[in-house]
Chain A
């Protein structure tokens, strides 16, 4: 009756052999294509480094002004813009300016990349039920797989550094972008689409003049989610060499520096709040036409 108390499993030898052969296979793949893949991501590294440079080398008062200006443009709220200024001044005052700038540039590049990947994929999904049924389970895996796990193949392929970190963050953060783009387009009123068709819109006209503008508030919610998830991933990505606020947090964990961890953690929270409020305010402004209803 031993099979009842111990789960009948593969014997250790064949299990080890299986793991070994998969690992070996992946290692061979890495050796053969690693170089090529690295070259493929070269432009990304260039983009990332340039962004970081701009953020860290620009004098801080200008950076604060630009960020506050963008916040005002997106939200048209002086209160929100002032909040950004105060938040950034505090961060700088506690000597976390450089790390914060590196994190912001990282988040910016991640978001751009997530939009570049997620928007077309979401649009494609909204047009084909079959694609939707294939992609959805993959997104489920991407979102539930512990993020440490997919650091492993990324590091094996690309080593340690910014780009593998960036890719890990994007994999983690892109699903809401894809899902909400798909959802937003699918929720567009059928009557409106019929009218667009009746006036002879081409596929592109239909997409750019009707579907995307009407899905935009939902897509903005997706971008907001993507930013928040990317920020949550910053500390984990620091483990494979992404610079920024994650590094001191990591240091604080291994050395039990409570205050250092707290300060940097709060700085991450601070920029998360800025990004969240600004992008939400912008999303609301996109829906202005819905608000003032006829009485």
Chain B
């Protein structure tokens, strides 16, 4: 029931444009040739939503799309299940272009391939928690027994056992979003779309929900598209991160790429406040193994965070750690000073 490991599905977005207005298609070319968002709005009365978006989202990974409000991130995620139709471009899932689906194909696609979690939860207020959780399966036409069985399993997994007969209105925000998550997971679709799913929650509950999601993802291995405006959340959850500004992607990469090599000042200003110890991996701060280097008796995985390395230093009285790869072969060494240098930003160090 729980394991869906085999059927994960990647998503490719190709040259996606969204121009809001009467005749958006006419302006795709002009925008491509460099017409600015302001010019498009002031001279032609059209709003540039998304400009030439290209993203590869590998199957079974969490792709975060980050941006401030108005950057087009919520518009972008709605193109994947076509709650919004693009002006031009392709959205490929399992090699098929979602954009070309007929309404009937699209309905089947939404029923079986995607599930969505919303910022404002999107629960049906007249239905109980259980009835909300079965909604996707009910729409698919599954027998009632199976609906309830799946719903109960997932309600249990998100920690809502005993709340099945409450109405959404009786629950706190965090619990309502657990219902939203259970509803999405009960659908058993390979793609999970999360639109600012945790943004409306208190910081503590948000962190808690992030842990729930990461724990679940270890076994469900779905292709998750996660929208957020919070960089810390993006760095914590994302296997891949795409940063969106004014409808354009300004940088794509994993969390380390973003933190260590911000593409421009805009991103750099975001990244400044980030706790690098939790993002940067030992492997990117170590000294590569040279011949005759003295090795330490204590080793650490290259994939570990700097923070983890700091803990190891605290527990062991050594001045160097041996960094090992997945196969446990030594690939470098790292000293306490190197850990510290990598954890602190240069600018801060100057003051």
A: residues with CB less than 8 A from B are 189, 191-192, 194-202, 205, 209-210, 213-214, 289-290, 292-294
Determine which of A192, A200, A289, A292 lies in contact with B109 in the assembled complex, contact meaning CB atoms within 8 Å. Answer: A200
Q: From A192, A194, A205, A213, give the contact of B83 (CB < 8 A).
A: A194
Asked if B108 and A290 sit within 8 Å, CB to CB, the answer is no
Instruction: State whether the Cβ of B155 lies closer than 8 Å to any Cβ in chain A.
Output: no
CB distance from B166 to the nearest CB of A (A): 9
| Residues of chain A contacted by B183 (CB below 8 angstroms) | 199
27 inter-chain pairs at a CB distance below 8 angstroms, sorted by A residue, are A189-B125, A191-B120, A194-B118, A196-B124, A198-B110, A198-B114, A198-B115, A198-B116, A198-B122, A199-B136, A200-B106, A200-B110, A200-B112, A200-B139, A200-B140, A201-B107, A209-B135, A209-B138, A210-B124, A214-B125, A289-B125, A290-B169, A292-B169, A292-B170, A293-B169, A293-B170, A294-B172
Q: In the complex, which residues of chain B have a beta carbon less than 8 angstroms from the beta carbon of A292?
A: 167, 169-170
Partner of B170, one of A196, A201, A214, A294: A294
Could you say which residues of chain A place their CB within 8 Å of the CB of B112? 200
A214 to B126, CA, bound (A): 7
Contacts of A210 in B (CB 8 A): 124
Q: Find chain B residues with CB under 8 A from A290 CB.
A: 125, 169
Measured CB to CB, the nearest residue on chain A to B169 is A293
Residues of A within 8 A of B193 (CB): 198
* Residues of A contacting B83 in the complex (Cβ-Cβ under 8 angstroms): 194, 197-198
By DSSP majority rule, is chain A's interface helix, strand, loop, or mixed?
A: helix
Residues of chain B lying within 8 A (CB to CB) of residue A205: 139
Interface residues of B (CB under 8 A from A): 81, 83, 106-112, 114-116, 118, 120-126, 135-136, 138-140, 167, 169-172, 183, 187, 193
Find the B residue at minimum CB distance from A291: B169
Identify which of B116, B125, B167, B170 contacts A192 (C-beta below 8 A): B125
Residues from chain A with a CB closer than 8 A to the CB of B125 are 189, 192, 214, 289-290
Chain A's closest residue to B132 (CB) is A195
Known pairs A192-B122, A194-B83, A213-B126; A294 contacts B171 (CB<8 A): yes
CB-CB < 8 A to A289: which residues of B?
125-126, 167, 169
Report if A191-B118 is in contact (Cβ < 8 Å); known contacts: A199-B136, A199-B139, A214-B125.
Answer: yes
**In the complex, what residue of chain B is closest to A198 when comparing beta carbons?**
B116
In the complex where A213-B126, A294-B170 touch, is A199 in contact with B118 (Cβ < 8 A)?
no
Minimum C-beta distance from A291 to chain B (A): 8
B116 / chain A contacts, CB cutoff of 8 Å: 195, 198-199
Contacts A292-B167, A292-B170, A294-B169 given; indicate if A191 touches B107 (C-beta within 8 A): no
The 5 closest A-B pairs by CB, nearest first: A195-B122, A200-B110, A200-B111, A198-B116, A289-B167
Contact A202 B126 (CB under 8 A): no
Interface pair B107/A202, CB less than 8 Å apart:
yes
The answer to whether A201 touches B139, judged by C-beta atoms less than 8 angstroms apart, is yes
- Cα A64 to Cα B255 in complex, Å, equals 74
- Nearest CB of A to B232, in Å: 26
Q: Complex formed: what's the CA distance from A128 to B205 in Å?
A: 42
In the bound complex, how far is the Cα of B124 from the Cα of A59, in angstroms? 45
- Give the distance in Å from the alpha carbon of A290 to the alpha carbon of B138 in the complex: 23
B118 nearest in chain A by CB position: A195
A213: B residues at CB distance < 8 A: 124, 126
Q: Which of B106, B115, B121, B126 contacts A199 (CB 8 A)?
A: B115
CA distance A88 to B110 in the complex (A): 55
Shortest distance between the CB of A295 and any CB in chain B (Å)? 9
Q: B176 to chain A: closest CB distance in Å?
A: 9
Contact of A200 among B107, B123, B169, B172 (CB under 8 A): B107
Q: Are A191 and B139 in contact (CB under 8 A)?
A: no
Contact A194 B122 (CB under 8 A): yes
How distant is B151 from chain A, measured CB to nearest CB, in Å?
13
- In the complex the two chains form, what is the Cα distance from A189 to B112 in whole Å? 25
Q: For the complex, what is the distance from the CA of A209 to the CA of B125, rounded to whole Å?
A: 11
Q: How far is the CA of A194 from the CA of B75 in the complex (A)?
A: 13
Nearest B residue to A216 by beta-carbon distance?
B126
- B330 CB to nearest chain A CB (Å): 49
Chain A residue at smallest Cβ distance from B81: A198
Inside 8 A of A195's CB, which chain B residues have their CB? 116, 118, 122-124
Extra inter-chain contacts (14) besides given A213-B124, A293-B170, CB under 8 Å: A189-B125, A191-B121, A195-B123, A197-B110, A199-B111, A199-B136, A199-B183, A200-B136, A205-B139, A209-B139, A210-B124, A214-B125, A293-B169, A294-B171
